[in-house]
Chains A and B, each alone.
Chain A
Amino acid sequence: MSISRPGHQDNKKDATLSTSRIAVKPFPAIRKRITINSTEIQLFARYINDLTGIHIEPSKAYLLETRLGKILEHESCDSFTTFYYKAKADTSKIIEKQIIDAITTNETLFFRDASPFELLKHKILPEVFDKRSNKSVRIWSAACSTGQEVYSIAIILRELLGPVNGTNLKLVGTDISDAAIKQASYGMYNKFEIERGLPRERLQRYFESHGENWKIKDEIRFMTSFNRFNLMGSFAGMGKYDIIFCRNVAIYFTLDDRIKVFNKIADCLEPDGYLIIGSTESLTGVCPRFVPKRHLKSIFYQLR
C-alpha cells in the first residue's frame, strides 16, 4: 500500500527556500513520520470499531496516520504495533480516550441545516406543549459534539418560552468524545466556530466575549447538561424522551450498527415522540419501527 506523505514534500519545498542567505536549519527536528502497514491498519480498524462503532475503510489508512500519529509520538512508540499494545495495556484508559478524541469527526455548527430548528420551533415544540399541561419537555441530542446543536435547541426554547426556569425542562447532550463534551459544557467557542451558522443578533444576545473567544451566557447554559455516552453501549437507565436528535453520527457506522443504534433509540422515545436525523441520512432499511413524516422542508420520524 502506498501512502502519500505530505510531510516529505514540505521538507523539500522549505529546503529550496533555504538556499537564500539567511540560515534556515535543515530541519533536524522533523523525524521521519512513522507509517502504518496493512496488518496494523486491520488491528486499529478493529480496535476503533469495537470502541466506537466507527467503521474505517482500509483505503483510509492516511486517516489513522494523520489522526493517531501525534499521540503515538507523544507516547514515544516506534511503530503502530507498539502503540496498539501500549494503548490496550493502559488500564487508566487515558490513551484510549485520546484515540477516541482523535478519531472522531467533531464537525458541527450552530443551527446546522436550519430547517430542523424551524421544525422544532413551529411544529414539534408547540405540539408537545399542547399535550403537556405543565409545558414539560425532555430533549436529547445523542451525539452533540462540541455542543452547538444543544445550544441551538436551547436558544429556540428560550425564544419560544421566555426565561426558562428549568424544572420542567431536560435538555441533555451526550457524545463519546471527552474533549468534545468538555468544550460543550464549558460553552466556549473561537471566532471560527462562532462565525458558522450564528446570526449576529443571536450571537450578541446569547454569548459574551471572552478575549478572542465567545462564551454562552449562563441563562442558556443552565438549561442544558452534558455527559459522555457511547451509542454502542447499553441504553439502560436513559429514560424516555419527547424529542431525540441523532444527527450525522450513524453515517460513520456499518449498517448493522446503525440498525442496533436506531432500535435502541426507538426504545428511548415516548410513543408520541419525535426523532430527527441528519439531512442526508435515511432510515429506509434501517429501522422499520419509524415512519417518516414531512413538514414543509424537513422530515422527522415517529414510531409506528
Chain B
Amino acid sequence: MQALKILVVDDDPVTRSLLMKRLSKAECVVETAESGVEAIRMISNTYFDVILTDLMMPGGVDGIGVLETAKENNIKTEVILITAHGSIDNAIVAMKKGANDYLQKPINFDELILRLSKIQNLKHLMKNASDLRVAMETTEQVSSETIQHLEMTVAELQERMLTIRKTLERRDLPPGERIRMALAG
C-alpha cells in the first residue's frame, strides 16, 4: 500500500516535532506548517492525503480556514482537527463543515495511528473501485463496438441469404440463370 502523505499544521513547535517523529515512524510521509497561512500556501501546491491541523492558531487563518481551503482544493483530502481538551462544540462545527474526524489534546498516538490506518484502507478501497470502473468502462466500450459491428453484419448476411434463396427458387428462370443471378447478388 502506498504511504499516506500528511501535512501537520500547528503553531506549537513541540507538537509539530512530536507528530513528525511518530508519523514518520509509522511510515507516513510528513510535512509541517507553522501557521494556517503557511498551510494554505502548501495545500495549493501539493496534494496531501491527510491534513492534521490544530483548530486554534494565531495569524488570521485557523483550523477551519485550513479545512475550507483543503476541501476546495481537493475533496479527496481528509482533514483531522486537533482541538484543546473540552472544546467539543468547536469540533462539531468543524465536522459540519466537512472535517473527517477530530482528536483532543493531549494526542493519543495509538488512536491517531488507528484512524490513519482506517483512512489508508478506505483510500485503497476507493482506488480499487475507481480502477475497476475504468477497466469496466474500457471493456464495455470495446465490446460494444465489436457487438454492434457483429449485429449489423449478421443482419446484412441474413438479408443476403434471403435474396439468394428467393432467386434460386424462381421457377420462371432456367437453373443456370438462377445460379448466375444468385452469385451476382
Contacts and interface: CB of A to CB of B under 8 A. Distances in A.
A123 to B, nearest CB: 16
A299 B151 contact: yes
Given A20-B114, A21-B110, A22-B114, A280 B155 contact: no
A17 B117 contact: yes
A282 interface: yes
Given A22-B111, A22-B114, A299 B152 contact: yes
A282 B147 contact: yes
B173 interface: no
A292 B159 CA distance: 12
Contacts of B110: 20-22
Given A20-B110, A20-B113, A21-B110, A284 B154 contact: yes
Interface in A251-290: 279-284
Interface residues of A, number: 17
A294 interface: yes
A155 to B, nearest CB: 22
Contacts of B128: none
B150 interface: yes
B1 to A, nearest CB: 12
Given A17-B114, A279-B140, A282-B147, A292 B108 contact: no
B interface: dominant SS: helix
A291 interface: yes
A105 to B, nearest CB: 12
A247 to B, nearest CB: 12
Nearest to A290: B155
A213 B93 CA distance: 20
A281 B147 contact: yes
A187 B117 CA distance: 36
A280 B138 CA distance: 12
B144 interface: yes
B114 A291 contact: no
Contacts of B117: 17
Interface string B125-166: 000000000000000100110011011101100000000000
A280 B155 CA distance: 17
A299 B114 contact: no
B147 A283 contact: no
Contacts of B143: 280
Report which residue of B143, B144, B150 has the largest number of chain A beta carbons within 10 angstroms of its beta carbon: B144
Contacts of A20: 110, 113-114
B113 A294 contact: no
Contacts of A281: 147
A171 B111 CA distance: 54
Given A20-B113, A22-B110, A22-B111, A279 B152 contact: no
Contact of A280 (B114, B147, B154): B147
Contacts of A291: 155
B169 to A, nearest CB: 20
Contacts of B155: 284, 291-292
Contacts of B108: 22
Contacts of A298: 148
Contacts of B113: 20
Pairs A-B, 6 closest by C-beta atoms: A279-B144, A20-B110, A22-B110, A280-B144, A292-B151, A21-B110
14 contacts: A20-B114, A22-B108, A24-B114, A279-B140, A279-B144, A279-B148, A280-B143, A280-B147, A282-B147, A284-B150, A284-B155, A292-B155, A299-B148, A299-B151
Interface of A: 17, 20-22, 24, 113, 279-284, 291-292, 294, 298-299
Interface of B: 108, 110-111, 113-114, 117, 140, 143-144, 147-148, 150-152, 154-155
